Structure 1
Amino acid sequence: MSRYLLPVAVALLFATSGCVGLITGETVEFDSAPASVSDSALEETGYEQAMADEQTIERTVTVAGQERTIRVTNHVRQYERGIDLGPVGEINAGRFIVFSTPSATVAGQSLNPAATWSNERLIEEIASRNDQINDAQFERNRSVDALGESRGVAVFSGTTTIEGQDVDVLIHLTSFEHEGDVIVAVAVYPERLDDREGDRVDTLLGGLSHSGN
């Protein structure tokens, strides 16, 4: 499983959505605030930050016969945990990615599809841009407290390749609006470790912090 392929796929999802074509006026900027996991949650779960990135997407669109420049700033954080996979040794096979993107609201209308898409639609889009996650199938819904409210989390099963071996994985996905941004959190880990890793995912989600603009 490529180390940064999943967050890149998430970023591409919003970079290529095409929603910004509805915006009118001169150059419009939408900036998100970073979402991250608290140090205490990382210490409790054994996860460590592996990547922090700010992605600014700028495009020129034609609206009513005139060109407009749109600039959107997203933030992504990836966390990893080493897991003993037997013959191949310890691999960073536990991944937790949190992505913040502006809801891009104009005249009361959100122009970011992430604000309205279901978790099932999001996983379809992410999987279609990520050839490292195969056969994603919905398993169940559950709820976890995150950023002060109960959030719906969809759990999917799938397969990926780690060090040349096919591995069954579980994918936990949640998406919700918080203080002007859309927060997308994705966790991926080997399915056979669900009893322990599921609890760690809950702790990471409970340890999310985010201060909107």
Structure 2
Amino acid sequence: MRKGILTLLVGLLVVSSGCVGLITGETVEFDSAPASVSDSALEETGYEQSMADEQTIERTVTVAGQERTIRVTNHIRQYERGIDLGPVGDVNAGRFIVFSTPSASVAGQTLNPAASWSNERLVEEVASRNDQINDVQFERNRSVDALGESREVAVFSGTTTIEGQEVDVLLHLTSFEHEGDVVVAVAVYPERIDDREGPRVDTLLGGLSHSGN
């Protein structure tokens, strides 16, 4: 699950033809600020951080006949919680991933398409690039307070395989701009525990912290 989302998100930065002439230096750097979940929210929900990573991606583009390098630094945090799945025992089937990527604007021109993608578009890309998530269907939209504002969260259903067992899952996804970055948060857990895990996701979203550049 994490690998599929990461593959999608780290490749979001592109340079459009509308930016020709805006980039004048040899290398343009964009650095996001990490987004994470507060210790109090983790303690309340039982989630633990399992991964923290910083990735720098470079892409060479041709601008006005000359090559230019775009360098982007993204941050990703993953949190997990053990869930009892009966015959297969207790496994880390609850996952919460938060990703920050620069809005990447030059002279008012946004270079990062993630800034304008809808939640539905993002999850379609996640599902198409991750063969571990199947039969993804949109279920509903809802609102959750995160980083000082009400955020739209899209909920999807799907199936995945955990320890050889096919499991129906729910996927919650939200994406929004905050202090110069695009923040994307994704939660996945077995659908049969939605009544208990859904409120935990709300707590994790409410416990997000992020200080932009």
Superposed pair shares fold, TM > 0.5: yes
Residues 132 and 161 in structure 1, CA contact (< 8 A), matched pair in contact too: yes
For 2:200 and 2:8, the matched residues in 1 are separated by: 22
1:170 aligns with 170
The reply on whether 1:73 has 2:73 as its aligned counterpart is yes
Q: Report the 3-state secondary structure (helix = DSSP H, G, I; strand = E; otherwise coil) of the residue aligned with 1:19.
A: coil
2:46 counterpart letter in structure 1:
G
For 2:72 and 2:119, the matched residues in 1 are separated by: 22
The reply on whether 1:24 has 2:23 as its aligned counterpart is yes
2:191 aligns with 191
Task: Give the drift of 1:128.
Answer: 1.2
2:111 counterpart letter in structure 1:
L
1:66 counterpart letter in structure 2:
Q
Q: Unaligned 5+ residue runs, structure 1?
A: none
Task: Give the drift of 1:53.
Answer: 0.2
The structure-2 alpha-carbon separation of the partners of 1:153 and 1:125, relative to structure 1 and needing over 3 Å to count, comes to same
The reply on whether 1:145 has 2:141 as its aligned counterpart is no
1:105 aligns with 105
Task: Give the drift of 1:57.
Answer: 0.2
The structure-2 alpha-carbon separation of the partners of 1:59 and 1:20, relative to structure 1 and needing over 3 Å to count, comes to farther
Task: Give the drift of 1:20.
Answer: 6.2
The reply on whether 1:48 has 2:48 as its aligned counterpart is yes
Residues 45 and 200 in structure 1, CA contact (< 8 A), matched pair in contact too: yes
Task: Give the drift of 1:13.
Answer: 4.1
Q: Unaligned 5+ residue runs, structure 2?
A: none
Number of equivalences: 209
More displaced stretch, 178-187 vs 104-113: 104-113
Task: Give the drift of 1:9.
Answer: 2.9
The reply on whether 1:8 has 2:6 as its aligned counterpart is yes
Q: Report the 3-state secondary structure (helix = DSSP H, G, I; strand = E; otherwise coil) of the residue aligned with 2:99.
A: strand
Q: Report the 3-state secondary structure (helix = DSSP H, G, I; strand = E; otherwise coil) of the residue aligned with 1:138.
A: strand
1:61 aligns with 61
2:154 aligns with 154
Residues 144 and 152 in structure 2, CA contact (< 8 A), matched pair in contact too: yes
The structure-2 alpha-carbon separation of the partners of 1:19 and 1:122, relative to structure 1 and needing over 3 Å to count, comes to farther
1:76 counterpart letter in structure 2:
I
The reply on whether 1:35 has 2:35 as its aligned counterpart is yes
TM-score (norm 1): 0.94
Percent identical pairs in the alignment equals 82
2:120 aligns with 120
1:203 aligns with 203
2:114 counterpart letter in structure 1:
A
2:157 counterpart letter in structure 1:
S
**Once superposed, what is the RMSD of the aligned Cα atoms?**
1.3
